Amino acid sequence: MILIHYGEIGIKGKNRAAFENCLVRNIRKALKGEIVKIRREYGRILIEEKEDANLNFIGERLSKIPGIENFSFVTVASPDIEDIKEKAFHIAKRMSFSTFRIAARRASKNFPYTSMKVNEIVGEEIRKKLGKKVDLENPDLTIFIEIGDKEAYVYKEKLRGIGGLPVGSQGKVVALLSGGIDSPVASWLMMKRGCSVIFVHFYNESLVASPKKIEEIIEKLTEYQMESKAYFIPFGRIQYDIVANVAAKYRMIIYRRIMAKVAEKIANKEGAKAIVTGDSIGQVASQTIDNILCIYAASKLPVLPPLIGMDKKEIVEMAKKIGTYEYSIKAYDDCCSFMVAKHPATKANLQDIEKMEERIKIDIEKIMEKAEIKEFSL
Ligand code: ATP
Ligand code: MG
C-alpha cells in the first residue's frame, strides 16, 4: 500500500475533513487507473494500488500533488509486535546496509508497547539475525514503523511531496501567463497554496501563428493541478493602438493595465477572487514600486505577485525544479519588441497614466469575444 502524510492540512481544525476530502479527490484524479481503494484516516491517507500498478508512475504523480508532505510504499502488518518484527525483518533482509535504526510511532494508545520499546524489540531482531549495527545519528537504513488501531505500516523511506495545500481548497485565481520564466513559477506557487489557477495569455496574432509554447507550459503546470482552463487572447489591435497613441516610455504600463482589466473580467466570469502575476520588484522597468502601483490599480480585484521578493536566480532554480524552464526559454514573440521602450518610465504617476489611457478605445466585451478557451487535463 501507499501511505501518505500531509502537513498543514492536518492542523486546520473544523475544516479538516473538507481539506482531506479535497486531497483525496485530487489523488484519485492523478492516479486514476492505478488504484483499487483510497481511504483517509486520522492524519494520513492510504492507497491500495492495483496488483500490476506502475509504482514509478505513481511516485512521479504523488510527488507533484500539492498538500502531500511525504509518501511511502509500505508493508502492512497487524498491530501485533510479532508481526511487525517479522515484516521489518523481511524488509531489512533484502537491503544492503551496515548500520540502521528503527523509528517507530505509536498512533494507537491501545498498543501495549511504547515507541521506544518497539524500537528496541525490532532493532534487536535485526541486529542479531543480520549482524548489523545500530546507529541513531547517521544510519544507512531507517525502518519506519507506524502503529494504528487496526493496522501497522512498515517502510524504509519517506519520499518527499511538495507540501502546501490541496488544489481547490483555496478557491480560484486568474494568472497572467506570459511566455517567460517567471509567470509559470508564480502560477505554480499559487497552486501549491491550494488555489485552482485559470490562465490568461495575450498574444499578437499577426506575429504568433499559434501560442504552442504557452500550451506546453500549461500542460506542464497541469501536472500539479490536474485540470486547467486557459484563455488565449489575440491582442494585436490593442498593441498597435497603444503604439499609435502612447509615448514609448509608458507603453508597457498601459499595456499591462489593459491586461489586468481583461483578467479582472475573466475572473468575475469564472468566480475567481484574485489576479496573479510573475512580477518581482525591480527586475524590469515595469516592476518598480511606482509602476506596479499604476498597473495593479487597473484592477478592483487584488493582484497577487508571489515572486515579489525573489531574485531571478531563485526563480530560475524553481522553474527548473518544477519543469517549466525548458519550455520558457524557447523562442517566442509574445510581446513584440516594438512595445519595449529604450528608456521606459520607472516612476509613472497614476493620474497621468489614466489620462493617457483614455486615448485608447478598450472594448473588453469585444476582446472577450475573440478569446479562445482551451481545457487541459492530465
Ligand atoms: P515573465 O518571465 O513572467 O514573462 P518578466 O520578468 O518577463 O515576466 P514582464 O514581461 O514585464 O516581466 O511581465 C510581467 C508580468 O506580466 C508577467 O509575469 C505576467 O504575469 C504578465 N504578462 C506579461 N506579458 C504577458 C502576456 N503576453 N500575457 C499574459 N500575461 C503577461
Ligand atoms: Mg516576460
Tell me: do 217 and 274 sit in the same domain. Answer: yes
Per the structure, how many domains does the chain have?
3
User: What are the tens digits of pLDDT across the range 207-260?
Assistant: 888 899 999 999 999 999 999 999 999 999 999 999 999 999 999 999 999 999
Residue nearest to atom 11 of ligand 1 (CA): 286
Tell me whether residue 160 is in a domain. Answer: no
Q: What residues contact residue 298 under an 8 Å CB cut-off, 6+ apart?
A: 256, 257, 258, 260, 261, 264
User: What are the tens digits of pLDDT across the range 46-75?
Assistant: 999 999 999 999 999 999 999 999 999 999
Q: What residues contact residue 175 under an 8 Å CB cut-off, 6+ apart?
A: 183, 186, 187, 190, 197, 198, 199, 200, 275, 276, 277
Tell me whether residue 158 is in a domain. Answer: no
Which residue range forms the structural domain that includes residue 67? 2-76
Tell me: do 50 and 128 sit in the same domain. Answer: no
Q: How confident is the model at residue 241, as a pLDDT?
A: 93
Tell me: do 128 and 100 sit in the same domain. Answer: yes
User: What are the tens digits of pLDDT across the range 119-143?
Assistant: 999 999 999 999 999 999 999 999 9
Q: Is 180 in the pocket of ligand 1 (CB under 6 A)?
A: yes
Any idea what the CATH number is for the domain that residue 43 is in?
Answer: 3.30.70.1510
Closest ligand relative to 233 C-alpha: 1
Tell me: do 221 and 354 sit in the same domain. Answer: yes
Tell me whether residue 164 is in a domain. Answer: no
Taking 70 as the pLDDT cut, the residues of the chain under it are: 9-12, 334-336
End position of a domain, from candidates 76, 108, 123: 76
Tell me: do 131 and 208 sit in the same domain. Answer: no
User: Of 173, 174, 176, 340, which is best to mutate to test ligand 1, by the most ligand atoms within 8 angstroms of its C-beta?
Assistant: 176
Interatomic CA distance for residues 192 and 307, integer angstroms:
13
Any idea what the CATH number is for the domain that residue 132 is in?
Answer: 3.30.2300.10
Any idea what the CATH number is for the domain that residue 290 is in?
Answer: 3.40.50.620
Q: How confident is the model at residue 42, as a pLDDT?
A: 76
